[in-house]
């Protein structure tokens, strides 16, 4: 188990400058964490280079972006994109002419999936095909990058990849129950993890969320060697999740979203950074707070830990800017609903014994329970209803603040990173936001 090692002081390092190269290893979406780093790279005048995961054609074959898609993606990134599909995972890979894992689970039904068995020898062959496809694509990307990275420049590789849920109808229905179901629709994560389907999904999570970081570090070894020989330095970052310290009862305390089925993959990601670090490679996983993005919206209740950020801001730097954040949140609530009443609801939720029983770092990631699902999903729904508009939530505002705070923290700490695994919790994020605004 990794020791809990939160970043406690605002980093002062500043390695990166005009002409250095920032490589985003994953695609950029509107609300995604990577925007925090991209903003810093842009401010520093770095050359920004991105990649794509590619797209699937009507036969599910992986293809590069069309000229039009490429132009849109490059405008969004503010940099060139190397157009080689880097879709990770093996859910749609197989030896030529054979069934893919997605084909193998396509016939599972809501009635049968818990007892349906998979041919693991065949799955392993598919995994090997997927890994070798991905590594070959990384090699092509690196060959192209090598041409674009000048001798002696500093290079920042930012890994953002996470995912791996196969696209089959039955899993949509299961996911709706595991991540959103309560009462009669509740389903335990244990049921999923004990099934062959669940085991397959965890293997795919490992590939997408963790192993891609390893393939990035290995695949860029030649670039690293050349840059370092010519006076530059190379850094790697990845986004982890392993719970977050938030302000509860006046103290920063560790808590987590449950059920985080990607937890094992995120711990594997931490071990990859630790192993690279031991080899002298500066790779750091930053375990970041729960925010709402395209990827996290499926996890109903994940956003509840964001509200105490308002208290953290008051604790770290009360003043007009913090008051303006409170006010911006107030304005999103229905007439007659106070922010104080909402925050009281969150306090009660966090003080509940059911929630407390999940604040167990050593046991992470724990399975969910029906009591947890009822409480968390119920609270999430109640809080959403306190808003004027379900599409403009306090947690949108707070997510944007967290994202903004992580940018400079990660960018500066990575100049001279102190460890392979660091937590960015609400304390340091509030301190960083105060420094930026207050």
Binding residues vs ligand NAD (CB under 6 A): 26-27, 29, 32-33, 53, 86-89, 160-164, 208, 239, 241, 288, 290-291, 293-296, 302
Query: To the nearest whole angstrom, how small is the minimum distance from the Cβ of residue 299 to ligand NAD?
Result: 8
Q: Which is nearer to ligand NAD, 232 or 301 (CB)?
A: 301
Task: Note the maximum CA span of the chain.
Answer: 65
Query: To the nearest whole angstrom, how small is the minimum distance from the Cβ of residue 335 to ligand NAD?
Result: 30
Query: To the nearest whole angstrom, how small is the minimum distance from the Cβ of residue 101 to ligand NAD?
Result: 13
Task: State how far Cα 381 lies from the chain centre.
Answer: 23
Chain position carrying tokens 């990577």: 34
How far apart (Å, rounded) are the C-alpha atoms in residues 79 and 363? 42
Query: To the nearest whole angstrom, how small is the minimum distance from the Cβ of residue 395 to ligand NAD?
Result: 11
Query: To the nearest whole angstrom, how small is the minimum distance from the Cβ of residue 194 to ligand NAD?
Result: 24
Q: Which is nearer to ligand NAD, 232 or 289 (CB)?
A: 289
How far apart (Å, rounded) are the C-alpha atoms in residues 318 and 331? 19
Nearest to 149 by CA among 85, 38, 230: 230
Query: To the nearest whole angstrom, how small is the minimum distance from the Cβ of residue 231 to ligand NAD?
Result: 31
Q: Which is nearer to ligand NAD, 138 or 434 (CB)?
A: 138
Report helix, strand and coil shares of the chain as percent, to nearest 5. Answer: 50, 10, 35
Q: What are phi and psi of 220, to 5 degrees?
A: -100, 15
Q: Which is nearer to ligand NAD, 289 or 417 (CB)?
A: 289
How far apart (Å, rounded) are the C-alpha atoms in residues 238 and 286? 6
End-to-end Cα separation, the chain, in angstroms: 37
H-assigned helices in 230-369: 263-278, 309-317, 320-330, 339-351, 353-356
Which residue in the shown chain puts its C-beta closest to ligand NAD?
32
Nearest to 256 by CA among 46, 190, 266: 266
- Rounded to the nearest 10 degrees, the angle between the axes of helix 120-148 and helix 196-205 is 10
Q: Which is nearer to ligand NAD, 154 or 296 (CB)?
A: 296
CB 77 within 8 A of CB 24: yes
Chain position carrying tokens 């894992």: 101
Q: Which is nearer to ligand NAD, 37 or 339 (CB)?
A: 37
Q: Which is nearer to ligand NAD, 241 or 311 (CB)?
A: 241
Q: Which is nearer to ligand NAD, 33 or 113 (CB)?
A: 33
Counting every residue written for the chain, the total comes to: 438
Query: To the nearest whole angstrom, how small is the minimum distance from the Cβ of residue 64 to ligand NAD?
Result: 14
Structure tokens at 26: 């994953």
Query: To the nearest whole angstrom, how small is the minimum distance from the Cβ of residue 185 to ligand NAD?
Result: 23
């Amino acid at each position: 188990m990794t020791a809990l090692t939160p970043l406690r002081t605002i980093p002062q390092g500043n390695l990166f400058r005009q002409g250095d190269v920032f490589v985003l290893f994953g695609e950029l979406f509107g609300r995604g964490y990577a925007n925090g780093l991209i903003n810093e790279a842009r401010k520093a005048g770095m050359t920004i280079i991105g990649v794509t995961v590619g797209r699937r054609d009507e036969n599910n074959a992986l293809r590069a972006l069309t000229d039009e898609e490429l132009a849109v993606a490059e405008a969004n990134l503010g940099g060139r994109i190397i157009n080689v599909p880097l879709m990770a995972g093996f859910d749609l890979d197989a030896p030529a002419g054979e069934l893919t894992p997605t084909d193998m689970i396509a016939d599972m039904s809501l009635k049968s999936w818990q007892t349906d068995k998979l041919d693991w020898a065949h799955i392993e062959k598919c995994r090997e095909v997927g890994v070798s496809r991905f590594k070959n694509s990384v090699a092509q990307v690196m060959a192209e990058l090598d041409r674009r990275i000048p001798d002696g420049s500093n290079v920042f590789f930012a890994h953002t990849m996470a995912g791996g849920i196969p696209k089959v109808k039955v899993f949509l229905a299961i996911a709706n129950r595991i991540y959103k179901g309560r009462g009669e629709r509740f389903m335990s994560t244990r049921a999923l993890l004990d099934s062959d389907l669940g085991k397959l999904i965890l293997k795919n999570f490992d590939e997408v969320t963790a192993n891609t970081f390893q393939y990035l570090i290995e695949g860029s070894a030649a670039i690293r060697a050349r840059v370092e020989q010519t006076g530059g330095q190379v850094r790697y970052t990845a986004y982890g999740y392993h719970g977050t310290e938030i302000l509860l009862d006046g103290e920063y305390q560790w808590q987590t979203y449950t059920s985080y089925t990607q937890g094992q993959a995120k711990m594997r990601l931490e071990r990859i950074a630790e192993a690279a670090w031991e080899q002298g490679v500066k790779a750091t996983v930053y375990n970041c707070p729960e925010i709402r993005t395209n990827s996290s919206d499926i996890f109903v209740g994940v956003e509840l830990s964001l509200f105490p950020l308002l208290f953290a801001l008051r604790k770290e730097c009360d003043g007009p800017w913090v008051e303006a954040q409170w006010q911006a949140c107030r304005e999103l609530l229905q007439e007659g609903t106070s922010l104080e009443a909402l925050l009281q609801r969150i306090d009660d939720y966090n003080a509940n014994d059911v929630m407390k029983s999940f604040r167990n770092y050593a046991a992470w990631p724990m399975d969910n329970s029906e009591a947890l699902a009822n409480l968390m999903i119920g609270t999430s729904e109640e809080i959403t209803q306190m808003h004027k508009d379900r599409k403009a939530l306090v947690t949108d505002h707070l997510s944007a603040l967290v994202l903004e705070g992580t940018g400079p923290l990660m960018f500066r700490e990575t100049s001279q990173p102190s460890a392979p695994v660091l937590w960015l919790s609400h304390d340091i994020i509030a301190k960083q936001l105060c420094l930026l605004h207050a």
